[in-house]
Amino acid sequence: MLVELQNISKTFGRVRANQDISLKFEGGHIYAILGENGAGKSTLMKIMSGYQSADRGQIVVDGQALDLKAPTDAIAHGIGMLYQDPLDFPPFTILENFIAGRPGGIFPDRAAARQQLAAITERFGFGLDPNRYVDTLTIGERQQLEIVRLLSLNVRVLVLDEPTTGISAEQKTILFNVLKALARDDRMAIILVSHKLEDVIELCDLAYVLRRGRFVGEKTVPCPISELVALMFGKVVERQNRPNVMCGDSVLTVEAVRIAAQRLTVENVSLRVCSSEVIGLAGLDGSGQGEFIRACAGLFPPQSGTIKLNGRSMTRASYHDFSQAGVAFLPAGRMEEGLIKGMTLTEHFALTQRSPRPWINWFEARQITAERIKNFNVKGRPGSPIQTLSGGNQQRFALSLLRQNLKVLLLEHPTRGLDVESANTIWEQLLKRREQGTAIIFISAELDEIVSYSDRILVFFGGRATMVDDPAEMTADRLGELIGGRE
């Protein structure tokens, strides 16, 4: 079976998720789709599996162009996808989930289904009791159920989205053995969507790499991890020429924190940050940098270790306590966490103002809003609803909401999705705060941004961190090795 994606393009508003992507998948091989968060890999696979439609381009199977309207159409043509969060019915049994969506109407042949379920689970060593309820299963067992269900529907192409996230080492070994057997013995095409490069090296034959919605290259696997990282992130540019920080007393001190998240544990990470210092947090998506920066904002209390601000313990402090003490946090999801859809720019400013009065002075709020719009070059009016602004203007506006004289400013992907001009404007504003003494800690998937603006870089991999003290001396190959987990 040969599946071809031909010139696939997809946009969401101003965001070009996929741009003219052409790939081939042949039975008997295991492929990886690599790319940082936002590279477009999940969108591409959702198009291939019928979950979303492309704006342009086509999917061709064995020479026949397909018109996929839904995932059921894709399955009918032999393409099935296992999502990161399996699509099942937790209150039902394994057998009932196995039967769901199969031909047979309202009176399916349960005996035949039970027999088929037993045959597939026995072949692959899945210990799935057909009478067990799905809400008692682990993530790994739910994945096994979904694989069995898709195989029973005769899929020939199996797409898996981050399948090793949240499963045990034993379940991962079983999963990889199954996928290798399906490719080798059944001549299926297996497609692994992942940011875990060690999984790709262990399992795959060929890696396709996406960056910023475009296909940028392929690598035969196994290969050096640094080569995959170089394709994923692009060439690392030289660091900006600016004076180094003379570090005195630390404004933020993190000592040996352990942060237990749902799918990852951050272990024994320490960081000492001085006033006016810029710290870049690098690493593949999901390596622990997100949990770490949120712990520094009071959103994710550590299980152990300490967090201090100007010598004051903040380990168990709330987000409000951190904010009162001079720490601000701008999340990656501007409209999901940072701003409020439906509210105007003036209303946002009114919410951020501290006033002893029990009412809002709207005249004053509009004046301040107009002033900030001008100072931060926001293309909008005080009465504009926030969702009508472009991504760059939303980000500039979010920065304008922050009070002056912050001690620490934490940012997740401050320039993601922005054009070059907007990104440069954002950094002009951030560097002004640096000159005023604010320490900046930011996450970015762009290595050129990390190297260009950081005084030091903290590289995360698998919940652990390695410090790079001199970004100017860091080569692309060495940074790639650190991001890939090789110290």
Q: 360: pLDDT confidence band, cut at 50, 70 and 90?
A: confident
Per-chain mean pLDDT for the chain:
88
Q: What is the pLDDT of residue 84?
A: 77
Q: At what angle do helices 139-152 and 169-185 cross, to 10 degrees?
A: 20
**Segment 51-73, tens digit of pLDDT:** 999 999 999 999 999 999 999 99
Q: Is the pLDDT of residue 79 over 60?
A: yes
Q: What is the pLDDT of residue 287?
A: 87
Cα(399)–Cα(419) distance, integer angstroms = 17
Query: Tokens 């080492």 sit at which residue?
Result: 169
Q: What is the pLDDT of residue 236?
A: 53
Q: Is the pLDDT of residue 426 over 90?
A: no
Q: What is the pLDDT of residue 100?
A: 84
CB-CB contact of 395 with 377 (8 Å): no
* C-alpha angle 284-288-292 in degrees, rounded to nearest 5: 130
Q: What is the DSSP letter of 172?
A: H
Q: Is the pLDDT of residue 3 over 80?
A: yes
Q: What is the pLDDT of residue 48?
A: 95
**Segment 271-323, tens digit of pLDDT:** 999 999 999 999 888 889 999 999 999 999 899 999 999 999 999 999 999 99
Q: What is the pLDDT of residue 105?
A: 65
Cα(444)–Cα(454) distance, integer angstroms = 11
Q: What is the pLDDT of residue 244?
A: 65
Q: What is the pLDDT of residue 243?
A: 61
Q: What's the mean pLDDT in 427-439?
A: 91
- Name the amino acid, one letter, at 296: C
Q: Establish whether the linkage from the previous residue to 222 is cis, with ω within 30° of 0.
A: yes
Q: 246: pLDDT confidence band, cut at 50, 70 and 90?
A: low
Q: What is the pLDDT of residue 114?
A: 93
Higher local confidence (pLDDT), 87 or 122: 122
Query: Tokens 């789709």 sit at which residue?
Result: 33
Q: 327: pLDDT confidence band, cut at 50, 70 and 90?
A: very high
Q: 198: pLDDT confidence band, cut at 50, 70 and 90?
A: confident
Cβ neighbours of residue 481 under 8 Å, at least 6 residues apart? 225, 226, 229, 487
Q: What is the pLDDT of residue 184?
A: 95
Cα(227)–Cα(143) distance, integer angstroms = 30
Higher local confidence (pLDDT), 79 or 429: 79
Q: 179: pLDDT confidence band, cut at 50, 70 and 90?
A: very high
Q: What is the pLDDT of residue 110?
A: 87
| Tokens standing for residue 420 | 């070059």
Q: Is the pLDDT of residue 89 over 60?
A: yes
* DSSP per residue, 302-314: -SEEEEEETTEE-
Q: What's the mean pLDDT in 228-240?
A: 68
Cβ neighbours of residue 399 under 8 Å, at least 6 residues apart? 330, 376, 426, 429, 430
Q: 486: pLDDT confidence band, cut at 50, 70 and 90?
A: low
Which stretch of 62-66, 226-230, 411-415, 467-471 has the lowest confidence by average pLDDT? 226-230
Q: 22: pLDDT confidence band, cut at 50, 70 and 90?
A: very high
**Segment 247-277, tens digit of pLDDT:** 767 899 999 999 988 778 999 999 999 999 9
Q: What is the pLDDT of residue 462?
A: 86
Q: What is the pLDDT of residue 467?
A: 92
Cα(246)–Cα(22) distance, integer angstroms = 50
Domains of the chain, first to last: 2-233 (3.40.50.300), 250-483 (3.40.50.300)
Q: What is the pLDDT of residue 221?
A: 92
Higher local confidence (pLDDT), 21 or 353: 21
* DSSP per residue, 390-434: -HHHHHHHHHHTSPSS-SEEEEESTTTT--HHHHHHHHHHHHHHH
Q: What is the pLDDT of residue 267?
A: 93
